[in-house]
């Protein structure tokens, strides 16, 4: 699907999709073509639906993984192939609502205390205190920290967002929560711990850590 892949990737780029999203969507179409052994533009919508059911029922993929595949295939058929009427989906995930596991203040303190390297300790405290994802903490730089306003600018976040002074609705989108109540549960459980956790900003900006 060389020409089709190039066309789809161009469509993704024009719409501002992140590199990770582009790779996931292109991989979804490649997987479909490999499954049927045909060009994806010659695969019917019914066959696409059967492929999604195959991923769920036979390959036992997680709902989140199947959903990414479904979104990628929708994009390919509706945007790249210009078939807006294309319809296929996967069953909604039926999972009980569970409260997130939040470490106690004592557990967090013990974990940080065991981290002897000052740089590693600062990274750990920043990740916990700001609720950063792995990719976000990996891209964090000293210039992203505004000590005066006590904020951190997040680059390369989910969907390649760039935010400063983010509000609760923006945090909801960054975390990928479908409803604001899910985000509020995180804040309700974590607020008392975060409020008592020492700020990592001074540690990150200290000469000792910056030179290591």
What is the rounded CA–CA span in Å between residue 53 and residue 60?
10
The three-class DSSP label of residue 67 is helix
Q: Does residue 27 contact residue 72 with C-beta atoms inside 8 Å? A: yes
pLDDT digits (tens, 9 = 90+) for 130-177: 777 777 878 777 777 776 776 777 765 555 545 444 444 544 454 455
Task: Please report the domains of the chain, with CATH numbers, ordered by start residue.
Answer: 2-80 (1.10.150.130), 105-210 (no CATH)
Tell me the whole-structure pTM to 2 decimals. 0.49
DSSP state of 161: -
CB 145 within 8 A of CB 152: yes
Q: What secondary structure letter does DSSP report for 148?
A: T
Is pLDDT at 113 greater than 50 in this prediction?
yes
Predicted pLDDT of residue 64: 87
Q: Which residue has the tokens 């956790």?
A: 197
Least confident piece of the model among 27-31, 62-66, 189-193: 189-193
| Separation of alpha carbons 73 and 86, rounded Å | 10
Q: What is the pLDDT of residues 16-57, one digit of tens each?
A: 999 999 999 999 999 999 999 999 999 999 999 999 999 999
Residue 73 and residue 29 in contact, taking contact as beta carbons nearer than 8 Å: yes
Cα 80 to the center of its chain, rounded Å = 24
């Amino acid at each position: 699907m060389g020409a089709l892949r190039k066309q789809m990737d161009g469509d993704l780029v024009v719409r501002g999709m992140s590199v990770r999203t582009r790779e996931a969507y292109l991989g979804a179409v490649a997987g479909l073509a490999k499954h049927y052994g045909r060009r994806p533009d010659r695969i019917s919508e019914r066959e696409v639906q059967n492929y999604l059911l195959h991923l769920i029922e036979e390959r036992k993929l997680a709902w989140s993984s199947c959903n990414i595949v479904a979104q990628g295939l929708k994009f390919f058929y509706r945007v790249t192939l210009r078939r807006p009427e294309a319809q296929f989906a996967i069953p909604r995930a039926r999972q009980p609502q569970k409260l997130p596991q939040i470490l106690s203040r004592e557990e967090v303190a013990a974990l940080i205390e065991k981290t002897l390297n000052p740089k590693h300790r600062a990274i750990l405290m920043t990740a916990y205190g700001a609720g950063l994802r792995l990719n976000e903490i990996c891209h964090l730089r000293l210039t992203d920290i505004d000590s005066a306003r006590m904020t951190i600018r997040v680059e390369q976040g989910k969907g390649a967002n760039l935010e400063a002074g983010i509000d609760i609705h923006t945090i909801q989108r960054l975390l990928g929560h479908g409803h604001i109540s899910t985000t509020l549960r995180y804040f309700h459980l974590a607020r008392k711990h975060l409020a008592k956790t020492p700020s990592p900003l001074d540690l990150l900006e200290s000469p000792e850590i910056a030179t290591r």
